[in-house]
Structure 1
Amino acid sequence: WMLQEIEKGQRAEDLKMDVLQAFHFIIQSWDEVSINTIRNCWYHTKILVADTTDTNSHSEDFCQTTDPVLNDIVNALEALNLPYPMQVEEFLAIPEENIVYEVPSDDHVIAELVETFRTNDPTIVDFEDEDDSFEIPIVSVNMANTSLETIRTFLLQQNGTEEHINILKKIEKFINKTKVGQMQQSKIDQFFVENNGNSFQDA
């Protein structure tokens, strides 16, 4: 956050973070911590003892079946000594009724967000009905991040907006991915192609 603000021209000594922003970044950082990281830290601090007895006890959870093919898979999985194994039948055929939530695609999430704001705000203009001669200004990554922070602050001040905040997280990942792509150096042959094209147009 501080780097983004400095890139916008703010002075580092003038930057202040309120409690709401601090909570947001703490939650975001905690979401990026994996289970393996926590387990390894506990092993390192001796909270957990790294022995094979616990692992072997979990590996005994596999059940033999009447199907010889499935039994071969069970034996192969037992040889792996997995710490928390899943039953073979459950792994091969997940019951549809156990699916309680389906993760939408990024395109679907963005389309839903646009539709939500369009239906809630009657002043939004459909650009397809406008004259094509009007040129939409290019929005930079920093402008998109600033607008996203404004929307996040608004949603955090409302009740029952957890789903919308999760959608914003996906949009934020997309914006950051775009920013990284823009920071990558272009290939030298692309530079010459663009310059040759410009010189032909000037001629």
Structure 2
Amino acid sequence: MNLDFSVLNEYVPYIMKGTAVTLLFTLVSALFGFIWGTVLSLFKISNIQPLRWFATVYTSIFRGTPLLLQLALIYYATPQLFNYDISPLMAAGLAFGLNSAAYLSETIRGGIMSVDRGQREAALSLGIPYRTMMFSIILPQAVKNILPALVNECIALLKESSLVSVIGVEELMRRANVVGADTFRYFEPLVFVGAIYYILVLMLTFVARILERRMRRSD
């Protein structure tokens, strides 16, 4: 079949450096997406109509347009509109974080609504401020309820990180293409990178199961 994985021997360290970039990008995007998604979910259940309107329109826009388009707009339009030379990695983290927040806002809102309403009423009757009640009582339980969905979003971010190669971020996919161009053999580096993605997803799933078990024990 004309396969020779030995051509990758001298390129393995180069490809493996892309793993760190991919993991860092995924972590930053997931963290930013979770924080901003939480804010958007609070907007959606707020009694202030402009906040609800903003969160609804935001979610509609980012869920209704391709992620690749959002990535290209942020990377190429930022220098033109704001005269700021944004780095590829920053543009990618911003685009993925903003996009992820749109999806997570609905997930987190569902988690908040799944918490027994009696707990809110009891907290308010005890004079606990709304902010304290939400961040100390409601949100921790909501996160526990939606943990599988949060893990799925992190896995999706990890796999979709290959899209950032189109703007020059040297993550795994970009490095695989560089090796392919250098060796004139694309199958081997792509399969190698695919195996790395698969292992990373398995590791993330394993960590999520451990967290889920610990949360169940704490009930």
Length-normalised TM-score, structure 1 = 0.29
Q: Highest relative contact order (Cα 8 Å, sep 6+), 1 or 2?
A: 2
Q: Which has the higher helix share?
A: 2
Give me the TM-score of the superposition, normalised by structure 2. Answer: 0.27
- Structure 1 or 2, whichever has the larger Rg, is 1
